[in-house]
Structure 1
């Protein structure tokens, strides 16, 4: 196992430390995880890892946004693989040390499904589908406590009404950051543990 760690040069460690919110030891731990995930996926090169393999990793598999997270942190949004630097950036943003502003910017990008730099009704409905039983309600009918389309439309309308300061019926990054600033739990919940 020790040989896997030596693949990160001192120069790269210094660069990664300057470009992330990680210490040197945390970078080495992320690299160890990277090597382990590649081995588990049967990937000997360790240059890239499929989004599928990353989504199956225990640190991400329960997150309803796991696929979208991989898209946002990949250099190419249409890619199906992620390189080590992108993986390191992803875990850095989700670390305890990342500031609220950085976390908010990436949360916004994750929720902006149509990539138009605003959270509109369709984006918010998509977010609710990921967070609730709304998907189930659409396919099998409203049973038990599943939300109906009317419930979702009401929630989306209320969220936009609450957050939309300029009245354009969509939420900008600045408006989103303002909402997040009033949520003390946001930083704590926007984390991925990797060890």
Structure 2
């Protein structure tokens, strides 16, 4: 599930960068064609009446053209750099996350109970022959929360303390955040 999310984000980012690049190229070509057509029309029309005004307008259109050209060059460089980071560093972060999940052992599956003096889990090594003491009223109040544990069918035999977030899920979230922080710091 974690790998499929990474791959979908990676493919969608590549597709989005390609779409933005194609839209920018098409818009740039349209703007250049409009500028050239307007420039040729105004230059031919005004040159007959006032050559000085035609020179001023040519300078104005040339400055607009150069500014749009510089903007296009900047956008192309930015998209190429971002495409490089997307195509090469995203698999790097993905492989880093996978290596962390493969080579680092998960944390033991334990949940911290906020009131340890009210509940003591049974020892698995020694079997107690003494009758179990009656639970206190606070433990009875916590019984609905105890039934929400991951070991729900075995709660009647060995009750588990209520855990709001399991340690293994928190560990995988920490690994994913660590890989994303490395990826963003490189960018």
TM-score by length of 1: 0.22
Structure that is richer in helix per residue: 2
Q: TM-score, normalised by structure 2?
A: 0.23
